[in-house]
Each structure stands twice: as structure tokens, then as C-alpha cells.
Amino acid sequence: MATGRTHRPATRSRGIPEATVARLPLYLRALTALSERSVPTVSSEELATAAGVNSAKLRKDFSYLGSYGTRGVGYDVEYLVYQISRELGLTQDWPVVIVGIGNLGAALANYGGFASRGFRVAALIDADPAMAGKPVAGMPVQHSDELERIISDNGVSIGVIATPAGAAQQVCERLVAAGVTSILNFAPTVLSVPDGVDVRKVDLSIELQILAFHEQRKAGEEAAAEAALAAAAEREGIAEAAADGTAAHRKGPDGDVPAVMPA
């Protein structure tokens, strides 16, 4: 999921595996919810279910951060919130710019999840002069001519690209040249960036396509199951049929059409 050829070889950043880093925000969210309910401690089991992972995995993840639990009791919620926040770098303020204020960019600007965790939208930038000055999420949109100045004035190191695909690479280059070293890309393009710049990609249509694949497979399996049933029904009297799963494949009255999908 990460990016198009970014992320150093096999990033084990400082002993913390990439897969673990990707789960820390999940734990943090679950912990924050517990904290708001004033729950003092949680067991790995409870927290794991709340975060939607397996408890062994959670414990191993935490073991990379240090030993913050108490055996026989569990983890101190507040303390863990602090440790994870610090590890993720959320105890400091991250100014962020959003480039491309179309439907998606506006949605992002309004998204509460950003501001809630150390992220501050420093500016909204769009190439359309007609957008300039328009307020979006209580903040005036600025023209992309200002991009370099905004980034340097605010010390922005994280940029969000929500432009059309055609503009993304160019915007990316300007961001990087101006000093941005982390990019969250919503445009459906592979960005190429110099070493040292991180890119993460969020692609809506890709996610849907993956779902479609599984959906299709489910439909196919159903059909296969039905076919297997039919074949089984038809087979009575033929005792020496192969007992293993291959029976489902070489099924049917004639031919060897695989039940799953036409080749």
C-alpha cells in the first residue's frame, strides 16, 4: 500500500517494523476512546479486540516500543496514549498544506480527524484563480503561485495532493523543491520523488477494484459449490470417484471446464 518506489529498502526504522508503525494509529484511536471513558487500564486482549487485531500481535507491537505493561494487570491507558503519541511524533505540531481544493480537497479540509491529532491545516491551495479567496472550512483558498512562500513561511513538511492526476507530478515536484519531505497522494498517479521523500498513496478506485475481485470470487465459489453439488448428485452409483477436492474441478457431464471461471 505504501507508495510508488519510496520507503527505504525494508524500513525497520529504529527497530520498529513498518507493519507495527501502521498499526500504532489504530491502537491510539482505541486508547483515546478508552481514555475518554476514563478507563484506567486495559488488557492486551481487550485493546486488541477494540483495535480489530490479534492480542499476540498487539503485545509484540508494544514490545518494540518498550515494556509499558504490568503483568497481571495490563496497560495504563493514559501512559500508553502518551508513549504512542510520542513515538508517532504527534506531540508536536505538524503544519500541512492541501493542494487541489475540489470536492475531495474540500472534504479533507473539513475532515476533523486531521486537526484532532497534531495536524494543523496551514493552507489550502488551488491553481484555479477563481477559487482564490473563497473560504473553505473557514479558511481562504490561496492561489498556487503562493505555494513556495506558504511552505517556507510555515515550515511545512507534509503535503497533501488532491489534484487531478494530470497535475499531481508537477505539484509534487514543486512541493519537494520547496522543502516538503512527506506526501499523501490522493491523485491516481505514480509519483516519482527523490530519495528521502516519503509518499503514501490513497486510491479510492483501487480499493473498489480489490473488493470487486473478491466479490466476483464469492460469486464464482457459490457457482462452484452448486456445480459440485450437482455433480455429486449425478455421481451416485459411481463409487470409485476420487475422494479429494479435485473432483470439483473435473466435474460436469463432459469436457473439463473449470467451475470457477472460463479460461
The least distance separating a second copy from the CB of residue 213, rounded to whole angstroms, comes to: 5
Asked whether position 89 contacts DNA by CB under 7 A, the answer is no
Which listed residue (27, 62, 114, 186) binds DNA by CB under 7 A? 62
Binding-site member from 14, 37, 71, 214 for DNA (CB under 7 A): 71
HSE-CB for 45 with a 13 A CA cutoff: 3
Which residues are CB-neighbours of 175 under 8 A, at least 6 positions away? Answer: 97, 99, 147, 151, 159, 161, 183
Query: Under the criterion CB under 7 A, does residue 166 sit at the interface with DNA?
Result: no
Q: Which stretch binds DNA (CB under 7 A): 38-46, 103-111, 154-162, 180-188?
A: 38-46
- Residues 6 or more apart whose CB falls under 8 angstroms from that of 30 comprise 47, 50, 51
223 lines the binding site for DNA (CB under 7 A): no
Which of these ranges, 42-50, 110-118, 192-200, 223-231, lies near DNA under the rule CB under 7 A? 42-50
Least distance from a second copy to the Cβ atom of residue 56, Å: 14
- Looking at the Cβ atoms of 22 and 165, the one nearer to DNA is 22
Binding-site partner at residue 182 among DNA, a second copy, none, CB < 5 to 8 Å by type: a second copy
Give the strands of the sheet with 69-70, arranged side by side. Answer: 41-42, 74-76, 69-70
Instruction: Choose among DNA, a second copy, none what residue 260 binds, the Cβ cut-off being 5 to 8 Å by kind.
Output: a second copy
| Dihedral sign (CA 138, 140, 144, 150) | negative
Element (H, E) at 63: helix 55-65
Q: What's the closest the beta carbon of residue 17 comes to DNA, in angstroms?
A: 3
60 binds, among a second copy, DNA, none (CB under 5 to 8 A by kind): DNA
What is d(CA 57, CA 216) in angstroms, rounded to the nearest whole number?
31
CB 26, CB 53: distance < 8 Å: yes
List of residues contacting DNA (CB under 7 A): 10, 12, 17-20, 42-45, 53-57, 59-60, 62-63, 67-75
